[in-house]
């Protein structure tokens, strides 16, 4: 039990979806009903962005913090359940995807212990990722979550969030049957579009990003929201260089990703 949380610990979690991968249940008070009876069909991955797992667990169980997630994956691979899957955990904040703005109601949230960018963004340990894969698979199967709806916090909140970060092994998850991924196009120095560009090519880019799911208005101007969304796309799908500029590699990767999207 995290110091000062006041939460009890149960050996048996309330959900059986993840099977034996969950080691314990530490109930968080921070949850509510899913609005309009919404069934979760999106899986959202975060890093904790805190120095220690203990600090992260304490915050996720602190009523004053008003944040939570369904699961917390520790560095050693242990998995803690905080909120039952049929409840609305409070993990996404102000966010949107494919026109939906209440991401908490349509998603399952998983926090992954990592100090994040402020803590130097260390690599995710293999045993942690192996446990995450073991946790995600039954959740995806149970709720019927489509590959393209396995996302990072930065995808649904570009500019506000950067997690789980450019070092997160999305390729590794895809190889395990989780999420949508394609091999990124090779990086070159060719710039297709850049901030302050204006015209139909910019609007076509904005339309393509919005078609995939990113929350972006087609203004026809390569404005700051567009730069932030391009950076979020790069962080997930072309992480070797994250700068918010539409170079040829980012453009080709976006086109290939849309073309390969299931369905």
Structure tokens at 156: 């649904």
What CA–CA distances, in Å, run from 14 to 8, 112, 208?
Answer: 13, 20, 40
DSSP state at residue 261: S
Ramachandran area for residue 213 (φ above 0: left; ψ -120 to 50: alpha; else beta): left
d(CA 118, CA 120): 6
Estimate to the nearest angstrom the gap between the alpha carbon of 103 and the chain centroid: 11
In angstroms, rounded to a whole number, what is the distance separating the alpha carbons of residues 231 and 93? 19
Instruction: Name the strand (E) or helix (H) holding 154.
Output: helix 153-156
Q: What is the phi/psi pair of residue 167, to 5°?
A: -95, 0
Counting Cβ atoms within 10 Å, is residue 115 exposed (0-12), middle (13-18) or buried (19+)? middle
* Active-site choice (16, 85, 111, 162): 111
Task: Spell out the SS3 assignment of 49-68.
Answer: CCCCHHHHHHHHCCCCCCCC
Active-site annotation holds for 148: no
Give the catalytic positions in this structure. 111
């Amino acid at each position: 039990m995290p110091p000062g949380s006041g939460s009890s610990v149960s050996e048996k979690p309330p959900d059986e979806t993840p099977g034996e991968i969950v080691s314990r249940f530490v109930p968080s008070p921070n949850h509510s009903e899913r609005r309009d009876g919404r069934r979760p069909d999106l899986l959202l991955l975060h890093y904790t962005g805190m120095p220690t797992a203990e600090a992260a667990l304490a915050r996720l169980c602190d009523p004053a913090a008003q944040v939570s997630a369904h699961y917390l994956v520790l560095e050693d691979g242990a998995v803690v359940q905080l909120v039952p899957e049929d409840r609305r955990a409070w993990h996404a904040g102000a966010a949107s995807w494919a026109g939906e703005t209440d991401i908490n109601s349509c998603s399952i949230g998983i926090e992954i212990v990592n100090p994040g960018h402020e803590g130097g963004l260390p690599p995710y340990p293999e045993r942690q990722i192996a446990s995450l894969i073991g946790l995600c698979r039954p959740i995806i199967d149970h709720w019927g979550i489509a590959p393209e709806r396995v996302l990072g916090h930065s995808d649904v909140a570009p500019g506000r969030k950067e997690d789980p970060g450019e070092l997160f092994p999305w390729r590794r998850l895809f190889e395990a049957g989780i999420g949508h991924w394609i091999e990124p196009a090779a990086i070159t120095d060719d710039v297709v579009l850049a901030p302050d560009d204006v015209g139909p090519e910019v609007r076509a880019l904005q339309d393509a990003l919005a078609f995939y799911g990113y929350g972006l208005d087609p203004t026809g101007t390569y404005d700051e929201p567009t730069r932030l969304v391009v950076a979020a796309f790069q962080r997930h799908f072309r992480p070797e260089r994250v700068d918010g500029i539409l170079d040829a590699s980012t453009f080709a990767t976006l086109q290939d990703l849309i073309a390969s999207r299931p369905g």
